Amino acid sequence: PTGSLLYPYGPHQGDETNPKHDDGTSEAITLSVPFTFYGKTHQTVFVNNNGVISFDEPIRQYTPDPLPLVDGRPFVAPYWADVDNVLGGDIFYRQTTDPALLEDISQDITQYFPKSPFTATWALVVTWDHVAYYGSTSEKGNTFQAVLTTDSKTFYIILNYWDIQWTTGAASDGDAETGLGGTPAHAGFNSGDDTNFYNIPGSQTDAIINITTTSNVKVPGRWVFQVDDFQVTGVDPPQLNNDCWL
């Protein structure tokens, strides 16, 4: 499926494809532009099959733990759960300086953060395309995407949730037929310093299945964060936006 929510992805875009291994991971990806996350700069990331992009070392863990983790692992979890791409789906990634894509990303971020106009010079686009869950006896698949981007001064992560049909793998006490129940998926950010973290609302509850309808930038299914010096934005309930206290 393609929609305006997802930036272009797939082999025809020059994407690499992760190996078909349960709890697998990409090779170490050396970033052509170092990425600053919670005040620390990293040159290596791993795209982990289980819905996590981690800095400096892979994460194979399949049942999410509540954040913050105290073991010092910095990562972003677009949708941390027990993906099994052997049973179905693909995980794609590419670093890009494609001008058309960077222009789209720049326009989007500038629209969401108008006080600081942004011109992207680099992006890492990671897409989980119709991925299955461990132990699945169904055809259910999840499609979601994470984009890391920078103008070399400010660093952002865009999370796009296009189609979410399951929350839990069978080894996380999920139902093999429905992909629901047990310990549901987690979406959020872990700084690695055991203090700073962010949980997208609904994480590790059944409500995470509705992440395609939630947002912090008024675009259903999209969450955008400045992450160099992590900024939480727009988590007010929408009905407060028009209130005038003057």
For the chain (246 residues), the mean pLDDT of every run of 10, in chain order, is 81 96 93 97 97 96 90 94 97 98 97 94 98 97 98 97 97 97 97 92 96 96 96 55 41
Model-level pTM? Answer: 0.93
Q: Are 45 and 35 in contact (CB under 8 A)?
A: yes
pLDDT of residue 204: 96
pLDDT tens for 121-130 read: 999 999 999 9
- What are the distances in angstroms from CA 47 to CA 34, 71, 232? 16, 19, 24
Domain ranges, ordered by start, for the chain: 11-226
Task: Output the six-digit token pair for 206.
Answer: 């059944």
Quote the percentage of the chain above a pLDDT of 70.
Answer: 93
pLDDT tens for 73-127 read: 999 999 999 999 999 999 999 999 999 999 999 999 999 999 989 999 999 999 9
pLDDT of residue 242: 40
pLDDT of residue 244: 42
Beta strands (DSSP E) in 81-183 are 90-96, 122-131, 142-150, 155-163
Instruction: Count CB neighbours of 242 within 10 A.
Output: 6
Instruction: Return the amino acid letter for 16.
Output: E
Long-range CB pairs of 39-48 (<8 Å, 24+ gap) are 39/228, 39/229, 40/74, 40/192, 42/74, 45/124, 45/148, 47/18, 47/91, 47/93, 47/126, 48/24
